[in-house]
C-alpha cells in the first residue's frame, strides 16, 4: 500500500496557500487541496521551507480555508495535447473556455509544463526562414525556424499586430501556431479569434488565454502551457510558432506570487530569478 504525503493549510491569502506537513513534496510538484465541501483544487508547490510549503492554487480558491487537507500527488503539472486543440481557446490547464467540449484523438499525449530543454549539440542548425509577411522585417531582421525574437515597444505601437500578422502569414505553410494571451481582456481574445477565423488561420492555431479575470497563478503558468503545446508538435516533426503576449504582464503576475510567498521583493533579486525562468522557456 502506497502512503501519500499529506498536510493541512495553516494560512491562505490571495490564492497562495501555506501548508504544514507534506514532508516528501518536491519543488513544482502538483498537489490536491480538498475544501470543506469535498471539492478538489489543484495547486503547485513553489516554496519548500523547513516547516511549511508555499503553494499556488491553480484557479478559484474562495472555498478553500484553514485546516483543509492537502495531498501530494507525486506528479508534475501536465496537460493533454493533441490536434484537437487546434481552433480552440483554452485556459492554461488545457480546459476549453468556450461552449465546446474538446475530444482528444488517438494522438493525444500528456505534456509536462516543465521539461528539460534539448542540449545545443542536439539541435539542428537554423537554416529555414519563418516569414512574418512584413517585408521590412523579413528583409532586414529575418527570423529563422528555431530562433526567438523579442518585440519591444511602447504601449499601442503595434507589437501585437506584428505577432498576429505573423500567425496569419503561416497559412498553408504547415506551421502550427500557439498564441498565449497573458493578462488580456477576454474581449480582446474574442476579437483575436474572430480575426483569425476571418483570415482562415484558426485551423492551425491554438489560443491559450489567461485573462485579467483569472488568478495570477494561471497567468504565471500560461507561457509554460504554450511551450508544452509547441513541443508536442515539434516532437512530431512539425514546425510550431509560440507567441507570448505579453511578458510584462507575466512578470507582474510572477511578482505578485513572489510577494505572497515572501520571496525577495527587491528588483534585482526578482529580476535574476525571473530571467532564469524565461531563459528556460526560450531554450525549449
| Domain annotation covers residue 1 | no
Going by C-alpha positions, the residue among 244, 202, 237 that lies closest to residue 223 is 244
Task: Mark whether 116 and 29 lie in a shared domain.
Answer: no
The CA-based dihedral angle spanning residues 196, 193, 187, 216, taken in that order and rounded to the nearest 10 degrees? -120
In contact, 109 and 80? CB cutoff 8 Å: yes
Q: Which three cell numbers mark 256?
A: 505578485
| Domain annotation covers residue 37 | yes
* Structural domain for 57, as ranges: 6-76
pLDDT-based confidence at residue 93 (cuts at 50, 70, 90) = very high
Task: Mark whether 16 and 116 lie in a shared domain.
Answer: no
Task: Mark whether 180 and 231 lie in a shared domain.
Answer: yes
Task: Mark whether 254 and 119 lie in a shared domain.
Answer: yes
Q: Residue 148 pLDDT more than 60?
A: yes
Task: Say how many Å lie between the first and final Cα of the chain, rounded.
Answer: 38
Q: Residue 273 pLDDT more than 80?
A: no
Q: What is the pLDDT of residue 143?
A: 92
Task: Mark whether 21 and 86 lie in a shared domain.
Answer: no
pLDDT-based confidence at residue 269 (cuts at 50, 70, 90) = very low
Task: Mark whether 89 and 141 lie in a shared domain.
Answer: yes
Task: Mark whether 141 and 187 lie in a shared domain.
Answer: yes
Q: What is the pLDDT of residue 1?
A: 40
How, if at all, do strands 239-245 and 175-184 pair?
parallel
Per residue in 237-267, pLDDT (tens digit) is 999 999 999 888 998 898 899 889 887 755 5
In contact, 284 and 228? CB cutoff 8 Å: no
Task: Mark whether 156 and 219 lie in a shared domain.
Answer: yes
| Domain annotation covers residue 224 | yes
When the pLDDT of each residue in the chain is averaged and rounded to a whole number, the result is: 88
Q: Which three cell numbers mark 215?
A: 488568478
SS3 of 140, please? helix
How much of the chain, in percent, has pLDDT values that exceed 90? 65
Residue ending a domain, among 76, 106, 131, is: 76
Task: Mark whether 97 and 16 lie in a shared domain.
Answer: no
Q: What is the pLDDT of residue 16?
A: 94
The CATH number of the domain where 58 resides is what? 2.40.30.20
Per the structure, how many domains does the chain have?
A: 2
Q: Residue 284 pLDDT more than 80?
A: no
Task: Mark whether 59 and 152 lie in a shared domain.
Answer: no
Per residue in 1-12, pLDDT (tens digit) is 445 689 999 999
Task: Mark whether 59 and 186 lie in a shared domain.
Answer: no
| Domain annotation covers residue 123 | yes
| Domain annotation covers residue 188 | yes
Q: What is the pLDDT of residue 120?
A: 75
- Burial class of 35 by CB neighbour count within 10 A (0 to 12, 13 to 18, 19+): middle
SS3 of 57, please? strand
Amino acid at each position: 500500500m502506497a502512503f501519500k504525503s499529506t498536510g493541512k493549510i495553516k494560512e491562505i491569502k490571495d490564492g497562495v496557500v501555506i501548508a504544514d506537513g507534506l514532508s516528501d513534496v518536491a519543488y513544482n510538484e502538483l498537489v490536491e487541496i480538498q475544501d470543506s465541501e469535498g471539492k478538489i483544487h489543484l495547486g503547485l508547490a513553489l516554496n519548500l521551507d523547513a516547516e511549511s510549503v508555499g503553494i499556488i492554487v491553480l484557479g478559484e480558491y474562495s472555498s478553500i480555508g484553514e485546516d483543509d487537507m492537502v495531498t501530494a500527488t507525486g506528479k508534475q503539472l501536465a496537460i493533454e495535447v493533441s490536434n484537437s486543440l487546434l481552433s480552440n481557446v483554452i485556459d492554461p490547464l488545457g480546459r476549453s473556455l468556450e461552449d465546446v467540449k474538446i475530444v482528444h484523438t488517438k494522438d493525444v499525449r500528456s505534456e509536462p509544463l516543465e521539461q528539460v530543454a534539448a542540449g545545443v549539440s542536439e539541435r539542428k542548425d537554423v537554416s529555414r526562414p519563418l516569414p512574418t509577411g512584413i517585408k521590412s522585417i523579413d528583409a532586414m531582421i529575418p527570423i529563422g525556424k528555431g530562433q526567438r525574437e523579442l518585440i519591444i515597444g511602447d504601449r499601442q505601437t503595434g507589437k501585437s499586430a506584428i505577432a498576429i500578422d505573423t500567425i496569419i502569414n503561416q497559412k498553408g505553410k504547415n506551421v502550427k501556431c500557439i498564441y498565449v494571451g497573458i493578462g488580456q481582456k477576454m474581449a480582446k481574445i474574442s476579437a483575436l479569434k474572430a480575426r483569425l477565423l476571418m483570415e482562415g488561420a484558426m485551423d492551425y492555431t491554438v489560443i491559450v488565454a489567461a485573462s485579467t479575470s483569472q488568478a495570477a497563478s494561471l497567468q504565471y503558468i500560461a507561457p509554460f502551457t504554450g511551450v508544452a503545446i509547441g513541443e508536442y508538435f515539434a516532437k512530431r516533426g512539425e514546425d510550431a510558432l509560440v507567441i507570448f503576449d505579453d511578458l510584462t504582464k507575466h512578470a507582474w503576475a510572477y511578482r505578485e506570487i513572489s510577494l505572497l510567498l515572501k520571496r525577495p521583493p527587491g528588483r534585482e533579486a526578482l529580476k535574476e530569478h525571473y530571467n532564469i525562468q524565461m531563459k528556460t522557456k526560450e531554450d525549449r
